[in-house]
Amino acid sequence: MNPWLQPLPVLPVLLPMMTAAAMLLTRDGQRPVRMALAAVSLALQGVVALLLLAATLEWLPTGWPDGIGVYMLGSWPAPFGIVLVVDRLSALMLGLTALLGTCTWIYATARWDSVGTHFHPLFQLILMGLNGAFLSGDLFNLFVFFEILLTASYGLMLHGSGKQRVSAALHYIGVNLIASFLLLIAIALIYGLTGTLNLADLSLRAQTLYGADRQLFDSAAAILGVAFLIKAAAWPLNFWLPSTYAQACAPVGALFAIMTKVGIYALLRIGSLLLPAGAPAAFGGAWMFPAGIATLAFGTLGMLASIDARRITAYAVITSSGTLFAALGMPGATLTGPALYYLLSSVAALAALFLLLELIERSQPFGADVLAITQEAFETEEADAASLSEQVVGEPLPATLSFLGLSFFTCALIIVGLPPLSGFVAKFSLLSAALRTAEYGAPTLNVWLLVAAMLVSGVACLMALGRSGVRLFWVPEALQIPRLRIREITPILILLSACALLTVRAGPTLDYLDGTAHYLNEPGRYVEAVLGQNSPRLGTTPGPGPAHARGTQP
């Protein structure tokens, strides 16, 4: 056991928090200082995410049981103190956050960070919220980290201002505030019934409830599920999403691609821990599957009905959420591994598409796209581009256009799920896993419904993206050759190479994710790691066993 590795799980929260605090000591005008701080913080977060990934695979001498790292804040043992837990799923999501954060940040430094104030501190805070939500070992801190990431996201959503953006942000903030209240009500109810908020402890306590308490607990879990479904954009709770994502400035929209996945992470995590207790309501297949199919249908129709390419991408985010709900709503753990693979691939591709669309818009003859609702933002960009023209890297060659076209094509391939890239591997493994569950006695109707919904939505997505590609690139008027900077191209290339890497290393990745799925199917391992933890620094005996009645309600 290496004592230096023990505080590793707290670093993904601490690093961005300290960076944001340090940034606030500098004036907004001192952009180089803030950028240097952000670069260091992001690099360190990437390293920490990789180390945690290695630790959960037990490649590092951490001495963590089963590769599950438990960090006790204030050294209080598990059900009493606050714990941060890092396991395979958390480490995976942390890695994805670090990758996405780095890419969108590099893109933002090209121009967007100077459009408004305090972009860099808000960016660090949203990363802190995301990392914290993935690490949190109890419900209340999950809520707190959700609030941190949402509050930072409100600021980023408004970044760049403009009437359309403020109007979309108003809806976004309103809906999310209501969702937060639902979350609080559910958390309070669960605490009132079980006397604990620690997820591991809750998993044990929930099994001992019966009668009226059980019904009340089920309703609390349903409210909790509804709150997470709002965040994860399940139909009919997702009408806030399209305009929010389409109106946010490009790097923010790209970062938001992971925001809905936080809701899915929370559903997956809590669903997995409540599974032996008979996962109630929204966490089980009975609700999640139909919600997924409905979301998939809604996203598909939305994609077909949209004209603006950004709105199409926003609906693609909904479709991706719907696919994940439907896949996770299938019985057993067979689909969880491929679903996680799909999550990785779709987040990277959607983020790349959000970034790309802004670059493509620059190639459009000004005013040609009268239906584009982002005209206001577009106008300011043009002015910026002119003033920064001396910093432009490379001559405006048609090479930039072919780069844009090829990247758009690649993104579309991944999102639609056509071979040869990761989108195809993801959808193929999802479908084959779905067909395999039929052998284990899953309802055949559901299997075929899922297969049909995914294929139809794939075709619709192909039509929508193909149509917008034709409209964007094959226009009769001469396209302006846009000036792109290295900092704008690099993140798109990184995200697309990540997808390519996922394709090439599909075997090992799917093995890892299947391992994660099996691990999630055995919540006992998580509970054991969290509650069986005694504090090495205090040298205390292991905490009281879960069977003991502790802190009973009067």
Nearer of residues 96 and 168 to another protein, judged by Cβ:
168
Nearer to another protein, 187 or 232 (CB): 187
For residue 113, the one-letter residue type is D
Least CB distance to another protein at residue 19 (A):
21
How far apart are CB 194 and another protein at their closest, in Å? 11
The least CB distance from residue 220 to another protein, in Å, is 10
CB of 188 to another protein, least distance (A): 4
* Contact string 175-204 vs another protein (x = CB under 8 A): --xx-xx--xx-xxx-xx------------
Cβ 46 to another protein shortest distance, Å: 29
- Looking at the Cβ atoms of 115 and 504, the one nearer to another protein is 115
CA dist., res. 252 & res. 116, Å (int): 13
Task: Return d(Cα 297, Cα 87) in angstroms, integer.
Answer: 33
**85 DSSP β-pair partners:** 70
Comparing CB distances to another protein, the nearer of 189 and 481 is: 189
CB of 394 to another protein, least distance (A): 38
Buried (b) or exposed (e) across 434-469, using 16+ Cβ within 10 A?
beebeeeebeeebbebbeebbeebbebbbebbebbb
Cβ nearer to another protein, comparing 243 with 295: 243
Nearer CB in complex with another protein: 167/389 = 167
Rg for the chain, CA atoms, rounded: 23
Q: How far is the CB of 166 from another protein (least distance, A)?
A: 5
CA-to-CA dists, residue 472 to 246, 352, 361, 404, 480, angstroms: 17, 17, 8, 10, 12
Determine if 375 is a binding residue for another protein (CB under 8 A).
no
The least CB distance from residue 307 to another protein, in Å, is 20
CB-wise, 28 or 147, nearer to another protein?
147
Rounded to whole angstroms, the Cα distance separating 301 from 202 reads 39
Count of residues that bind another protein according to CB under 8 A: 31
C-beta closer to another protein: residue 145 or 283 = 145
Angle between helices 422-439 and 506-521 (to 10 degrees): 40
Q: How far is residue 366's CA from residue 389's CA, in Å, rounded to a whole number? A: 18
* Burial class of 480 by CB neighbour count within 10 A (0 to 12, 13 to 18, 19+): middle
Assess contact for 222 and 280: CB atoms under 8 A: yes
If you search the block for the tokens 């910026």, which residue do you land on?
384
Q: Looking at 6-14, 174-182, 410-418, 471-479, which segment touches another protein (CB under 8 A)?
A: 174-182
183 close to 263: Cβ distance less than 8 angstroms: no
Q: How many residues does the chain have?
A: 554
Amino acid at residue number 69: G
Task: Say whether residue 174 binds another protein (CB under 8 A).
Answer: yes
Spatial separation of the C-alpha atoms in residues 202 and 225, rounded to whole Å: 15
Nearer to another protein among residue 27 and residue 163 (C-beta): 163
Q: Of the two residues 191 and 409, which places its CB atom closer to another protein in the complex?
A: 191
Residue 56 vs residues 85, 403, 516: alpha-carbon distances, Å = 11, 38, 10
| Residue 225 structure tokens | 């599920």
Query: DSSP assignment of 289-356, as one string?
Result: HHHHHHHHHHHHHHHHH--SHHHHHHHHHHHHHHHHHHHHTSSSSTTHHHHHHHHHHHHHHHHHHHHH
Backbone angles phi, psi at 482, to 5 degrees: -75, 155
Binding mask 134-173 for another protein (x = CB under 8 A): ------x---x--x--xx--x---x--x-x--xx-xxx-x
**Closest distance of CB 171 from another protein, Å:** 7
451 sits near another protein (criterion: CB under 8 A) = no
Least distance between another protein and beta carbon 221 (Å): 15
Q: Which is nearer to another protein, 223 or 520 (CB)?
A: 223
Q: How far is the CB of 415 from another protein (least distance, A)?
A: 30
What's the half-sphere exposure (Cβ side, CA atoms, 13 Å) at 8?
Answer: 30
Binding site for another protein (CB under 8 A): 140, 144, 147, 150-151, 154, 158, 161, 163, 166-167, 169-171, 173-174, 177-178, 180-181, 184-185, 187-189, 191-192, 551-554
